[in-house]
Structure 1
Amino acid sequence: MVNLILKDVLIQKKLILIYIATIILYLFIDVSLVKIGFLYSMAFITQTFAYDEKDNANILLNSLPYTRKEIVSSKYIGSLVYTSLIIFITSIGDFFLNGKEVLFLWKDILLIIGLVMVTLSFILPIFYKFKTQSLMIAVGALFGIYILIIKFLSPSLNATLRESIQKFMTLQETQMYFVAILTIIILYVGSWLLSIRIYARKVF
C-alpha cells in the first residue's frame, strides 16, 4: 500500500515544483495559509484520480498484487499524507518568506485536515463511481440547484446555515473539537467503506 501512495507522489513530481512556485506566489500576496493548504491539497488529490483514468491505469493497478480494498485504502490514507505534505511545504515557504517563528497554528492544521476530510468524504465515492469529468458536471449542477433553491424555494437557507454554525461555535471549546473530530472521522470512515464497496463491484 505504501508503494501505491509513493506512486501518486512520483507521478506528480514535476507538478510539485509548480505547486511550490505558485504557493510562494500566494504567500507573497499574503493569501490565507488555510486557503492555500486546503486548495492545494485538493488539487493534488484530484490530480491523482485524473492520472489513474489515463491510459487504462486502473486496469494496470488491478493486475498488480493489491486487493481492491488496498487500492481504495491507499487513496484515503494517501490523501492525509498529501495534505500533510502540502501543509509542510506551505509552512516552510511561509517561514522563509515572512520569518514567522510560529508556522501553522495547530488549529489551522486541524481546520485544513478537517476540511479536506469532509470534502473527500463526499467526492471520493463519486470519483470511484464516475469519471472526474462527470464529477465536475455534477458539481456545477449541484451549485446551480443550490442557487435556485436559495432564490426561489428557501431564501433563508443561508441564514439558517449561519445560525446552525453559530450555535455550534457557542459550544465549549473542548466539546466543539470533540464533536467536530468525531463527526469528521465517522464521515470519513463511512465514505471509505462506501468507496471500497463501489470499487469492488466496478468492471474495467
Structure 2
Amino acid sequence: MLPCLTLAGIGWWCWPSQPTPVPPHLVAGTVHAALLTPDEASRLTGMTLTSSSEASKPSPALAADPSSCAIAVGPTTQAVFGKDWTAFLSATYQDAGGLGNYTMTQVVGVYPDREKAGALLRTLTAGLRSCSSAVRTDQDGRGSKWTYRIDGTASNSVSWTATQDGGNGWACYRQAQLKGKSLLQVGICEAGDGRSTVQALTRRVAAEVRG
C-alpha cells in the first residue's frame, strides 16, 4: 500500500501497467522546455529510473481535509497549474524495480505571460504557508496524512517537504520555480533526504526552459 499512498500524498497517480515513453520536449510558440529523459535523470540521481506516467494537462484538484489544504496535497494539479496554460507536460519516473521506493516528477506549465505564471507561484506559496498538515484522499478513495514544511522561498521559487505520517521516514521533496512565462516543478519521494538532488534537477530543467 505504501507506494500508492506516497504517490497520492503529492498528487501523483499510481503508474500504468504499460507506460508510454515521455516526449523529450515541450514546445509552445517560441517557448521550448525540455524535461530530463529517464536516462538523464538516472545519471543525475544515481538511481536506475524508468518512465512511469505522463500527462499533457493537470489532473483535477484533489480532496483535502481541511479543504484549505487542496494546494498542499495536490501541487501538480489544477489547484496550482489551473486551466489557462498554453502548454503543459508532466512526467513521473520510478525505480526500475517498480516498487515505488523512489519516484521523481517533472512538471512544466507555459502561460500567456510571466505575470500569469508568477501569480500561480504566489498562489502555490500561499497555499503551502497556510497548511501545516492534512489528510489527502486520492482518486481511488485512499487516504493518508501528511505534514508540510516550507524549506525556502525567493522571488521566483519555493521549496518544501511533505512527510507522510507513519511512513517510516518517507518524504517528498519539491521545488517550484518561475522561468519566463513558465512555471516548473520538480519533486522526489524517498525514505531519505532528497533536497540536494531536487535542487540539482530544478537547475537542469530550468536551464532548458526558454521564453
Report the TM-score range of the alignment, normalised by the length of the smaller protein.
Answer: under 0.3
Compare CA radii of gyration and give the structure with the larger one. 1
Return the structure number with greater strand share.
Answer: 2
Return the structure number with greater helix share.
Answer: 1
TM-score (norm 1): 0.27
TM-score (norm 2): 0.26
